[in-house]
């Protein structure tokens, strides 16, 4: 056992020595090694993660130019001209030899941080999480990092977080369902943004179309007395969507009954809020055949309250949600909802922000971007019953 340990130790030292020699070769081009020894140095580098090879060494091994390897490893847009199989070879060799691009040198050379800030209300199932997934997918492909902070609707955090992120050298900011307090010195994309602020691109859903889709669906099923669950006062979409719902109701000659309008209260991202307001509504003795919730999370809570009160969904009350979160299709019954393309919205936000960063002097940047909704009809809606 002792001799085996000594042997392993000698092997490790030899591998490190060979790796070190191989790493230094590009600095001393006049020094040559036998082909076999050079191969052993390459193999030894793979066994010594503490001593990764240089970019030049990796390029020599792959029989590619250092510039090509650098483009691939830094996920540069110019790498699109390099065949996919070649890119895969580069990444495989980089993993084998523990090669990592020198991010600090890259940032200093270009005087850039390649980092973005993302501000969200909270990170939980639902709206913000799906938008974030689209942002992260795109930034990963483009070689950017993101600093994500959640403000929980606390005024002092809404004020401080942009400043804190700027101090950490972010190149741009994405605000998701987050009111912006001040104009910022970097490009900003506001997802669900509705305020006109210099330097900000607002990315929002076509709420008029979304409200029309939901209301027309319920109207076509014979529903005339509908409950509406409004969003919290602090939500960026609450006022815009409620105005769109009232306009859609007027177009269909439907009366919005004040006693059938309730509003979510509290900042907990939970179905509990929808459950609570629906319980209060049922306790009032109000009669209705359909319920249109502010989001899927509150719709799920409303369904539970309806069932506990002895109402069947959708036979007694049809329920429509909003967003189409990942679990909506797997509820019982599967939830009819207005789909926001949330992942796509995240990707559009990231694409727009990087385009603006790449063209800092372009004053014709988009001020508003609108995305379209889709009505997803599942099992939580059916024809209206006759009210007694």
Q: What is the pLDDT of residues 294-324, one digit of tens each?
A: 999 999 999 999 999 999 999 999 999 999 9
Residue 199 and residue 214 in contact, taking contact as beta carbons nearer than 8 Å: no
Question: Tell me, what DSSP letter sits at residue 177?
Answer: S
**Tokens coding 187:** 């490009």
Residue 298 and residue 335 in contact, taking contact as beta carbons nearer than 8 Å: no
Question: How many C-beta atoms lie closer than 10 Å to residue 363's C-beta?
Answer: 5
**Where do the domains of the chain lie?**
2-102, 113-205+343-370, 207-340
51 or 123, which is more confident? 123
Average pLDDT rounded to a whole number, residues 171-176: 97
Quote the longest CA-to-CA distance of the chain: 97
Angle between helix axes 2-24 and 35-47 (nearest 10 degrees) is: 110
* pLDDT computed for residue 51 by the predictor: 55
Of 20-29, 80-89, 117-126, 281-290, minimum mean pLDDT range: 20-29
Give one DSSP letter per residue of 225-279, joined into a string: SEEEEEPPTT-TTHHHHHHHHHHHHHHTT----GGGEEE--SS--STHHHHHHHH
Confirm whether 113-205+343-370 and 207-340 share one CATH topology: yes
Question: Which CATH number fits the domain 207-340, given the four candidates 3.20.20.80, 3.40.50.2300, 3.40.1620.10, 3.30.420.40?
Answer: 3.40.50.2300
DSSP-derived 3-state class of residue 87: helix
Strand partners, 369: 203
Residue 35, CA distances (Å) to 18, 38, 42 in order: 13, 5, 11
* pLDDT computed for residue 140 by the predictor: 84
* pLDDT computed for residue 108 by the predictor: 52
Distance of CA 201 to the CA centre of its chain: 17
**pLDDT tens digits, 71-105:** 888 777 677 889 989 989 998 998 888 887 765 55
Provide the total of helices (H) and of strands (E) in the chain, helices listed first.
13, 12
Question: How many C-beta atoms lie closer than 10 Å to residue 48's C-beta?
Answer: 21
Domain 113-205+343-370 classification at class level: alpha beta
Give one DSSP letter per residue of 312-330, joined into a string: -TTTT-EEEEEE--TTGGG
Percent of the chain residues topping a pLDDT of 90: 67
* pLDDT computed for residue 27 by the predictor: 47
């Amino acid at each position: 056992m002792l001799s085996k340990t000594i042997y392993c130790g000698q092997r490790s030292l030899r591998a490190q020595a060979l790796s070190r020699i191989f790493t230094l070769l590009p600095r001393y081009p006049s020094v040559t090694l036998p082909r076999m020894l050079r191969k052993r140095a390459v193999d030894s580098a793979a066994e010594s993660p503490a001593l990764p090879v240089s970019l030049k060494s990796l390029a020599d091994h792959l029989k590619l130019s250092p510039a090509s390897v650098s483009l691939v490893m830094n996920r540069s847009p110019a790498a699109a001209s390099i065949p996919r199989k070649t890119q895969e070879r580069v990444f495989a060799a980089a993993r084998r030899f523990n090669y990592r691009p020198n991010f600090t040198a890259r940032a200093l050379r270009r005087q850039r941080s390649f980092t973005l800030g993302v501000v969200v209300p909270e990170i939980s199932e639902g709206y913000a999480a799906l938008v974030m997934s689209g942002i992260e997918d795109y930034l990963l492909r483009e070689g950017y990092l993101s600093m994500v902070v959640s403000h929980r609707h606390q005024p002092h955090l809404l004020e401080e977080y942009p400043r804190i992120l700027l101090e950490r050298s972010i190149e741009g900011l994405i605000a998701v369902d987050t009111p912006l307090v001040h104009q910022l010195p970097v490009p900003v994309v506001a997802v669900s943004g509705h305020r006109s602020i210099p330097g900000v691109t607002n990315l929002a859903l076509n709420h008029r179309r979304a409200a029309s889709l939901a209301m027309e669906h319920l109207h076509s099923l014979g529903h005339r007395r509908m409950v509406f669950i409004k969003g919290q006062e602090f939500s960026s979409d609450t006022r815009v969507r409620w105005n769109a719902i009232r306009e859609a109701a007027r177009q269909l000659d439907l009366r919005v009954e004040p006693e059938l309008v309730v509003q979510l209260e509290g900042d907990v991202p939970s179905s509990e809020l929808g459950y609570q307001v629906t319980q209060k509504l049922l306790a009032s003795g109000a009669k209705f055949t359909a319920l249109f919730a502010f989001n899927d999370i509150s719709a799920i809570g409303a369904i539970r309250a309806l069932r506990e009160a002895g109402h069947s969904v959708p036979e007694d009350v049809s329920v429509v949600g909003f967003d189409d979160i990942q679990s909506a299709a797997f509820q019982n019954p599967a939830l009819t909802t207005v789909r926001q393309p949330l992942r796509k919205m995240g990707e559009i936000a990231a694409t727009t922000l990087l385009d603006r960063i790449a063209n800092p002097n372009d004053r014709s940047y988009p001020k508003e971007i609108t995305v379209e909704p889709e009505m997803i009809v599942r099992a939580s809606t059916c024809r209206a019953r006759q009210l007694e």
